[in-house]
Chains A and B, each alone.
Chain A
Amino acid sequence: MMLADARTLCPQICVVPSDPAGDLDFLEKLAIWAQQWGPWSALDPPDGLLVDITAVAHLFGGEARLLADARTAFAKRGLSVKVAAAPTAGAAWALAHHGPQEAILTAQDDAMARLSGLPVAALRLDDDVLTVLRRLGLKRLGDMSGIGRDAIMRRFRNRRSPAANPLVRMDQLLGRVPEPLLPVIPQQMPLVQRRLAEPIRHRSLLDQVVRDLAADMARLLEGSGQGARRMELGLWRVDGEVVVRSLELSAATREAEHICRLFAARLDDVDAGFGIETVRLRASWAEPLALSQGDIEAAAENHGTSLSACIDRLTVRLGASAIQRPVPHASHIPERAQRWQAPMEPEPVSQGELAFHLRPLKMLENAERIAVLYATPDGYPRSFRWRGRLHEVVRVEGPERIAPEWWRERSTVRLRDYYRIEDAQGCRYWIYRHGIIGDQRGGLPDWYLQGLCA
Chain B
Amino acid sequence: MHPDISPPPAASPADDIVTLPAEMRGGLKGGVRLRPSARWKPGVAAGAIHSEIFASGHEAAGAALAIALAQDAAAAGKSSSPDASSPNFGALDEIMDQRSVLWVQDRASVRLTGRPYRHGLPQHLRHRIIHVVAEKAEDVLFALEEGLRCRDLAFVIGELAGNPRGLNFTASRRLSLAAERHGVPLWLVRVDAAHDLSSARMRWDVRSAPSAAPQWNGAAPGIPCWHGELFRSRSHVPGHWILRDDPAALSASSPAAPPTDITDDNTSHDNTANENDVSFDQPRQTGSVDLARATVGRSMAAL
Contact: A306 with B219, CB < 8 Å?
A: no
Q: Looking at A307, A365, A420, which has the most chain B CB atoms within 10 Å of its CB?
A: A307
- Say what secondary structure dominates the interface of chain B: mixed
Q: Looking at B114, B115, B221, which has the most chain A CB atoms within 10 Å of its CB?
A: B221
Contact: A361 with B121, CB < 8 Å?
A: yes
Encoded as 1 (CB less than 8 Å from any A CB) or 0, chain B from 227 to 260 comes to: 1000000000000000001000000000000000
Q: How far is the CA of A125 from the CA of B127 in the complex (A)?
A: 54
Contact: B150 with A425, CB < 8 Å?
A: no
Judged by a CB distance under 8 angstroms, whether B207 is at the interface is yes
Judged by a CB distance under 8 angstroms, whether B173 is at the interface is no
CB contacts (< 8 Å) of A358 on chain B: these are: 120
A420 touches which one: B130, B182, B221 (CB < 8 A)? B221
Judged by a CB distance under 8 angstroms, whether A166 is at the interface is no
Report the nearest A residue to B148, measured CB to CB.
Answer: A304
Q: Looking at B59, B100, B126, which has the most chain A CB atoms within 10 Å of its CB?
A: B59
Q: How far is the CA of A353 from the CA of B127 in the complex (A)?
A: 13
Binds A, one of B2-10, B38-46, B70-78, B132-140: B132-140
Contact: A304 with B149, CB < 8 Å?
A: yes
Are A318 and B139 also in contact (CB < 8 A) when A395-B219, A421-B221, A426-B225 are? yes
CB contacts (< 8 Å) of B146 on chain A: these are: 305, 310, 313-314
Q: Looking at B58, B147, B217, B224, which has the most chain A CB atoms within 10 Å of its CB?
A: B58
A426 touches which one: B130, B147, B151, B207 (CB < 8 A)? B207
Q: How far is the CA of A359 from the CA of B60 in the complex (A)?
A: 13
Are A363 and B115 also in contact (CB < 8 A) when A322-B132, A427-B58 are? yes
Report the nearest A residue to B178, measured CB to CB.
Answer: A304
Judged by a CB distance under 8 angstroms, whether B167 is at the interface is no
B220 touches which one: A324, A325, A395, A425 (CB < 8 A)? A395
Contact: B219 with A397, CB < 8 Å?
A: yes
Binds B, one of A13-21, A235-243, A335-343: A335-343
Judged by a CB distance under 8 angstroms, whether A389 is at the interface is yes
CB contacts (< 8 Å) of B114 on chain A: these are: 362-365, 451-452
Are A427 and B150 also in contact (CB < 8 A) when A328-B118, A338-B117, A359-B117 are? no
Report the nearest B residue to A297, measured CB to CB.
Answer: B151
Contact: B150 with A306, CB < 8 Å?
A: yes
Q: How far is the CA of A291 from the CA of B3 in the complex (A)?
A: 62
Report the nearest A residue to B142, measured CB to CB.
Answer: A317
Encoded as 1 (CB less than 8 Å from any A CB) or 0, chain B from 199 to 229 comes to: 0000000011111000001011110110100
Judged by a CB distance under 8 angstroms, whether A177 is at the interface is no
Encoded as 1 (CB less than 8 Å from any A CB) or 0, chain B from 170 to 211 comes to: 000000000000101000000000000000000000011111
B119 touches which one: A359, A364, A365, A387 (CB < 8 A)? A359
Q: How far is the CA of A314 from the CA of B127 in the complex (A)?
A: 20
Q: How far is the CA of A364 from the CA of B112 in the complex (A)?
A: 8
Contact size class for A?
A: 35 or more
A318 touches which one: B63, B132, B210, B217 (CB < 8 A)? B132
CB contacts (< 8 Å) of A425 on chain B: these are: 207-208, 210
Contact: B208 with A326, CB < 8 Å?
A: no
Are A314 and B143 also in contact (CB < 8 A) when A362-B116, A363-B114, A387-B58 are? yes
Are A454 and B245 also in contact (CB < 8 A) when A324-B131, A395-B221 are? yes
Q: How far is the CA of A358 from the CA of B121 in the complex (A)?
A: 10
Contact: A452 with B119, CB < 8 Å?
A: no
Q: How far is the CB of A321 from chain B (nearest CB, A)?
A: 9
Contact: A454 with B147, CB < 8 Å?
A: no
Q: How far is the CA of A248 from the CA of B106 in the complex (A)?
A: 25
Judged by a CB distance under 8 angstroms, whether B97 is at the interface is no
Q: How far is the CB of A448 from chain B (nearest CB, A)?
A: 13
CB contacts (< 8 Å) of A318 on chain B: these are: 132, 134, 139, 143
Report the nearest B residue to A396, measured CB to CB.
Answer: B219
Contact: B211 with A422, CB < 8 Å?
A: yes
CB contacts (< 8 Å) of A420 on chain B: these are: 220-221
Q: Looking at A317, A325, A361, A364, which has the most chain B CB atoms within 10 Å of its CB?
A: A361
Q: How far is the CB of A135 from chain B (nearest CB, A)?
A: 64
Encoded as 1 (CB less than 8 Å from any B CB) or 0, chain A from 437 to 454 comes to: 000000000000001111
Q: How far is the CB of B20 from chain A (nearest CB, A)?
A: 30
Q: How far is the CA of A362 from the CA of B127 in the complex (A)?
A: 16
A397 touches which one: B63, B100, B153, B217 (CB < 8 A)? B217
Q: How far is the CA of A394 from the CA of B208 in the complex (A)?
A: 14
CB contacts (< 8 Å) of B117 on chain A: these are: 326, 334, 338, 359-363, 451
Contact: A340 with B131, CB < 8 Å?
A: yes
Report the nearest A residue to B226, measured CB to CB.
Answer: A426
Are A428 and B208 also in contact (CB < 8 A) when A304-B150, A453-B221 are? yes
Are A452 and B60 also in contact (CB < 8 A) when A362-B115, A426-B211 are? yes
Report the nearest B residue to A428, measured CB to CB.
Answer: B221
Judged by a CB distance under 8 angstroms, whether A347 is at the interface is yes
Judged by a CB distance under 8 angstroms, whether A311 is at the interface is yes
Judged by a CB distance under 8 angstroms, whether B262 is at the interface is no
Contact: B210 with A394, CB < 8 Å?
A: yes
CB contacts (< 8 Å) of A337 on chain B: these are: 118-119
A306 touches which one: B115, B147, B151, B182 (CB < 8 A)? B151
Q: How far is the CB of B148 from chain A (nearest CB, A)?
A: 9
Tell me the A198-227 residues at the B interface (CB within 8 Å): none
Are A326 and B131 also in contact (CB < 8 A) when A305-B150, A427-B58 are? yes
Q: How far is the CA of A337 from the CA of B116 in the complex (A)?
A: 13
CB contacts (< 8 Å) of A189 on chain B: these are: none
Q: Looking at B63, B120, B139, which has the most chain A CB atoms within 10 Å of its CB?
A: B120
Are A326 and B142 also in contact (CB < 8 A) when A397-B221, A425-B208 are? no
Judged by a CB distance under 8 angstroms, whether B273 is at the interface is no
Contact: B220 with A326, CB < 8 Å?
A: no
Listed A/B pairs (18) with beta-carbon separation below 8 Å: A304-B150, A305-B151, A310-B150, A318-B139, A318-B143, A334-B119, A361-B116, A362-B63, A365-B114, A395-B221, A396-B219, A397-B219, A426-B227, A427-B61, A427-B208, A428-B224, A454-B67, A454-B224
Residues of B within 8 A of A (CB): 58-61, 63-64, 67, 100, 102, 110-111, 113-121, 126-127, 129-134, 139, 142-143, 146-147, 149-153, 182, 184, 207-211, 217, 219-222, 224-225, 227, 245
Q: Which 5 A-B pairs have the closest CB atoms?
A: A304-B151, A397-B220, A452-B60, A454-B64, A359-B120
